[in-house]
Structure 1
Amino acid sequence: MTNYVYKLRPNPTQDLKMSNWVDMLRGHYNWCLNDRIIQYNQQFFQGDYCQIIHEVEACPLTCFVSKNGATGNPWKDCKVDKEGKLKNPRRSASDIQITSLPDLKTSRPWYSGIDSTVLQQNVKRLDTAYKNFFEGRGFPQFKNRSNFTSFTFVMGVKIQGNKIYLPKLGWMRFYNSRSIPDGFTIKACAVRKRQNGWYVSIRIENKSVPDYIAKALEDVVKVIGCDLGIAKLVHLSDGYQIENPKFSTNKKVKRTLKIRQRRVSRQVKGSNNRKKAAKKVGLLHQKISDRRQAHQWKTAHKIVERNIDAIDARKFTYFWNATSLSSEN
């Protein structure tokens, strides 16, 4: 399984529609997160309480003893195994929120224009954030315009030449920089907005392609160690060093960034000129990011081209210690 990234060429109508989708999905994501937080507080800390704004009892959708009707029924689809025990005795918060999506479209008809799988993946995106939290990577945060810029399709995507079909968006042109190999099928695609336009990342898979088989230990002859440096980007155990271009900290880029940021600060807040100046700052950051990523791929290619059988990060430590001791003696 691999991903191919292309730049989209939407017409003005499609561009506006995707921008509206991102705004609505961000609101939906924040609402689902807030609903789960209220449910947790009600269940474990405060008990039943009244919301000051609405002057009614707080009744989150994801509450396991929900008062909102069938959409919050926690005991739906329960099954009994051979031993008489319940399987999946309670529905998860994501199942309840996904089940309530038809009600969301009824109460807020503008959400009907968004593909159903996109809304479902938006809830699963929140599940991934909670999974990361339980693994010790921080509690999910509410999203804003700067950190919520994408949505995902999982079915209905088709490609013909330099056109791609996205459900409820229609056929859209894109820059077909490299064609998808024969035999690969599209599993999902993520649409993301960047400073210079829209991009689509297509996940493709071909089950007939065998997985990479690691070499046997007796076949490994030449091993090289590598380590990240400070003055240099990478140090190799054979003495070869790769320069660090410092795309974001060199003199020219720092001066350009300083000038563009100064222009933003001089504009009136909320004005169109300020938005244009801020976009130029974002384009510079995107250029730095693209150059850095391209250089990393080239660096990895250089290391692999050195006719080696394996790369060991620990080997460099042994090499460095041995070299230091010999130089001191």
Structure 2
Amino acid sequence: MIWYYCPLTCPVVKHGVLSAGLTKISKKQLQWGSASDVQSKRTTELRAENPYYSQINADVLQGNLAKLDKAYTGFFKHQRGFPAFRKVSNFKSFQYKPGVAKLIINRDGKRYKRTGERKPCYSRVYLPSIGTIRFLDSREIPETAAQRTITVKKEADGWYISVLLELAEELLDLKVDIQSSVGIDVGINKLVSLSDGSFIENPKFATNKATRRRLRIRQRRVNRKVKGSRNRAKAGLLVAKLHKQIRDHRDGYQWQAASKIVKTADVVVREDLNIKGMKARCKPKRSQGRFLPNGQAAKRGLNRAISDAAWGGLFDKIAWLGQKAGKPVLAENPQYTS
């Protein structure tokens, strides 16, 4: 597998680039060229000079340059952090523009006799400069869907392909005749408390005792390995796999919970929580030049529990399923709601 990346091929300053990027408009007027334009031209020259870059698809290189230009634009315009240097190992994904990569879907997959569901089958995708690769279908792609961008991403447990589809289906209009409504309150002990008296349990995927023990053991093994060694990389991969397993279990459980909530009533009302503010650090307390206990040590466990519950992700899933079902999802001020 080829890693797709492009180095910074021209120096960047606040006004654009150095003199190599100046374009002459008139006899007395010069205009600064953008870093993205200069690097795009330089990338074309690199593909002709270096055989390594000639093996990489041009759209992939242009996509990385667009990300770099976006990072510098955010730094100069919106006062964000200065873009840090990224090593080759930090590039985990690359993207193809519409019409460049092609999917070859296997629609002849067999189905189970009892449930009628299709058995896991393999399809193929053609990636320019790489070739045709077989992949496992996680879901069936409609024949009427138009394929847009295709993103190849490396996770801890393997490579994944994300396909952006354009469907002809339209979302349902919001219901006007509302017969029932339900309010939800998220928490730590119970993930969701519904106004009809029912609850949705919180499995605590990352903060339960067994998982925390496994994470602690695996992270300790990483710290005991020599930095830069293969054994350290292998130990770090085990930690990454465990984190991905936790994330997958949490996402699957939240989709089921969101589906149950949306099917309960015609309108769903939730609290408009400031989750980022709830996880903010406590203000320091000082007295006579010394820092006093401010409760941050105790709040650390609460912040970890809020992150594990992932309320924001649950709200997004509820909003999406409600939009598909034509049911409004309202966010109310949490003050005086409980």
Structure 1 residues 132 and 203: CA distance shift in structure 2, 3 A: farther
Instruction: Give the counterpart of 1:97 among 39, 63, 68.
Output: 39
- Correspondence list, 1:76-91, <5 A: none
Matched residue of 2:19: which SS? coil
| 1:211-246 Cα shifts (integer Å, max 9, x gaps) | x24325x42343333343233222333343322211
Task: Work out which structure has the larger RCO, using CA pairs closer than 8 Å and 6 or more positions apart in sequence.
Answer: 1
Match in the other structure for 1:150: 93
CA gap 1:189/1:163 in 2 versus in 1, 3 angstroms: same
Q: 2:334, 2:222 → 1: CA distance?
A: 49
SS of the equivalent of 1:190 reads strand
Q: Verify the 8 A CA contact 2:271 2:334 in the aligned structure 1.
A: no
**Count of residues in correspondence between the two structures:** 258
User: Which residue of 193, 198, 214 corresponds with 2:159?
Assistant: 198
Matches within 5 A, 1:49-198: 62-63=16-17, 66-67=19-20, 72=21, 74=23, 92-130=34-72, 134=77, 138-144=81-87, 147-154=90-97, 155-160=99-104, 161=106, 162-198=123-159
The CA RMSD over aligned residues, in Å, is 3.0
Distance 1:146 1:234, change over 3 A: farther
Note the residue ranges of structure 1 that are not aligned, 5 or more in a row. Answer: 1-16, 44-61, 77-88, 324-329
Out of 204, 213, 227, which is 1:255 matched to? 213
**Match of 2:336, as an amino acid?**
N
In structure 1, C-alpha distance between the alignment counterparts of 2:228 and 2:144, rounded to whole Å: 50
Aligned to 1:294: 252
- What displacement does 1:129 show? 3.2
C-alpha separation between the residues in 1 aligned to 2:212 and 2:153?
27
The structure 1 residue matched to 2:11, chosen from 14, 35, 48, is: 35
Q: 2:169 aligns with which of 186, 209, 213?
A: 209
Runs ≥4 residues deviating over 6 A: none
Q: Following TM superposition, by how much is the alpha carbon of 1:257 offset from its aligned partner in structure 2, in angstroms?
A: 1.2
State the alpha-carbon separation in 2 of the partners of residues 94 and 197 from structure 1.
32
CA distance in 1, matches of 2:71, 2:164: 21
Q: TM-score scaled to structure 2, two decimals?
A: 0.66
Distance, in Å, in 2 between the alignment partners of 1:101 and 1:310 is 51
Structure 1 counterpart of 2:261: 303
The structure in which a higher percent of residues are helix is: 1
Tell me how far 1:201 sits from its aligned partner: 0.6
